[in-house]
Amino acid sequence: MASFRLVFLLLLCFCSAAFAELITSYCSDNTTIASAQMSANIDVVLRQLAKNTAKNDGFSIATYGQGKDTVYGLGQCRKDINSSACSTCIHDAASYIRQSCYYENNGTDERIYYDNCLLRYSDQKFFGIFDPSVVMNFYSSIKPRDQDFFRVQLETLMNFVISFAVMPQNKGFMKGSTAVSSSVDIYGIAQCTQDLSTSSCQTCLKTGFANFDKLCRKQKTVGCRVQYGGCYLRYDTDPF
């Protein structure tokens, strides 16, 4: 189911420049929005996130509704973009997130990822929790020239960005780059959602990195993203 969505959205990306930086979305396929009240609550949460995320230094959470119709939402921007780029991205995400799951099942756990931001809502309180069960990955099909050296440099870079991202002053974000040849660099980024504690952030990023062999074609590819609900890792030989 998840892989079907990736294909579907990638096609959409090519069709519409407006979604050029949309990476993917996830729609839970085992629960469905059961009531009109919950559906209305989702809209309230999305409006709050759209209004507050950029203003609040690129991160906000929102909770709305009562009992089984309660909805929890989170919006976050990439830490190194400015407030207006953050606002644009979150508004795009908020207006598209429901549509992206509409044709599937109107599930109750929806996540949407852009280059510059992510947005999520659920009927379960997910704040502060790293859930390793849902992971999405993308990788380039291009192989680096010197695979062994690439792997060594990539490992150094990822260890660097992860260890700096989890320092409290960095608020779960770090990027960096390193050379893989005289003319090629690899760029790397690690970011956690800010609801995670330092230790959950570290667990999320380390879990992602530990799964690179599985999720990034044994690291024999020039670019890859690994995306959990609570964090993501990305590297590429093209700057991003």
Q: Which is nearer to ligand NAG, 28 or 137 (CB)?
A: 28
Among 2, 6, 13, 31, binds ligand NAG (CB under 6 A): 31
DSSP 82: -
For ligand NAG, the closer CB: 133 or 183: 133
**Interacting positions 112-141 with ligand NAG (CB under 6 A):** 133
- The site map against ligand NAG for 71-90 (x = CB under 6 A) is -----------x-xx-----
Cα 200 to Cα 223: distance, rounded to the nearest angstrom:
25
Greatest extent of the chain over all pairs of C-alpha atoms, in Å: 59
CB burial string 29-58: b at 16+ within 10 A, e below:
eeeebeeeebeebbeebbebbbbebbebeb
Q: Is 2 in the site for ligand NAG (CB under 6 A)?
A: no
Three-class secondary structure of residue 60 per DSSP = strand
Q: Exactly one of 76, 87, 106, 137 binds ligand NAG (CB under 6 A); which one?
A: 106
Q: Is 239 in the site for ligand NAG (CB under 6 A)?
A: no
Pairing of strands 185-192, 71-77: unpaired
**3-state SS string for 109-166:** EEEEEECCEEEEEECCCCCCCCCCCCEEEEECCCCCCCHHHHHHHHHHHHHHHHHHHC
Q: Smallest gap, in angstroms, from Cβ of residue 163 to ligand NAG?
A: 27
CB nearer ligand NAG, residue 133 or residue 169: 133
Count, residues near ligand NAG per rule CB under 6 A: 11
Q: Do the beta carbons of residue 221 and residue 143 sit within 8 Å?
A: yes
User: Which residue's CB is nearer to ligand NAG, number 61 or number 77?
Assistant: 77
Contact 71, 65 (CB under 8 A): yes
Q: How far is the CB of 31 from ligand NAG (least distance, A)?
A: 5
Q: How far is the CB of 47 from ligand NAG (least distance, A)?
A: 18
Q: What is the DSSP letter of 16?
A: -
Is residue 240 a contact residue for ligand NAG (CB under 6 A)?
no
16 CB-near residues (< 8 Å, 6+ apart)? none
Residue 28: CB minimum distance to ligand NAG, A: 6
Positions in the binding site for ligand NAG (CB under 6 A): 28, 30-31, 82, 84-85, 102-103, 105-106, 133
